[in-house]
Amino acid sequence: MQTADDAAQISASQILEAAIAGDKPTTAAVVSALLATEKSSKQARRQLPIEQLMGNWRLFFTSRGKVKLGDQRLRGFYLPSWIPAQISFAPSEVAAYPIAVTNQITVGLVGLKLSGPAKYSDKKNLMGFDFTQLEVKILGQTIYSGKFPSPREGKVFGDIAIGQLPFFAFFEANSQFIAARGRGGGLAIWVNQD
């Protein structure tokens, strides 16, 4: 027998699938669907294996600021495809940390890329990371590539608790998209680029 929560989750899934397919439901509907999916995932204590998060993901949608169930004004926006913002998770080549994260955006002629170590807690679906490298390109030419200042500089990354790092709390991952809440409380959807 289907419960009200089951029906809400089916509806939320349909809204998210429509958004990914390009149908562009209202931003309030997408934020509401993300909140329902997050709630369902937490209630089910769903664990997302790290393998589902690995890859290249383009930022597709983000909420405006911290949102929670019951908010009257659910706001967000679709990121235009002509402003490519991408996050990538891959196995690290450095033994000191298991995952490498890269976050990059290109606006017009300028490209920014941040990279560094990451680690994942599959019990809580938390991906903690620290950006330690910055690359800046103009017209495709690298004008800076080097260290990026971090408040955790000088500390051993592996010894830092995920809760003390910037992090994403993932609540959905499939072959089409991943969805998470950031440490600041906002929600986001990234679509698969692989």
Q: How many CB atoms are closer than 10 A to CB 84?
A: 15
List the beta bridge partners of residue 30: none
User: For position 10, what pLDDT does the model report?
Assistant: 57
CA-based radius of gyration for the chain: 17
User: For position 7, what pLDDT does the model report?
Assistant: 40
Distance CA 50, CA 73 (A): 33
Domain residue ranges of the chain, discontinuous segments joined by +: 4-192
User: For position 6, what pLDDT does the model report?
Assistant: 44
Distance CA 94, CA 26 (A): 43
**Which CATH architecture does the domain made up of 4-192 adopt?**
Beta Barrel (2.40)
Mean pLDDT by 10 residues, the chain (194 residues): 45 92 92 95 94 97 85 86 94 87 95 96 94 96 93 82 92 96 95 92
Distance CA 2, CA 104 (A): 42
User: For position 158, what pLDDT does the model report?
Assistant: 82
Could you give the C-alpha distances from 21 to 6, 32, 86, 180, 191, in angstroms and in order? 22, 18, 18, 19, 10
14-36: pLDDT as tens digits: 999 999 999 999 999 999 999 99
- Residue ranges in 22-158 assigned as alpha helix (H): 27-43
User: For position 42, what pLDDT does the model report?
Assistant: 93
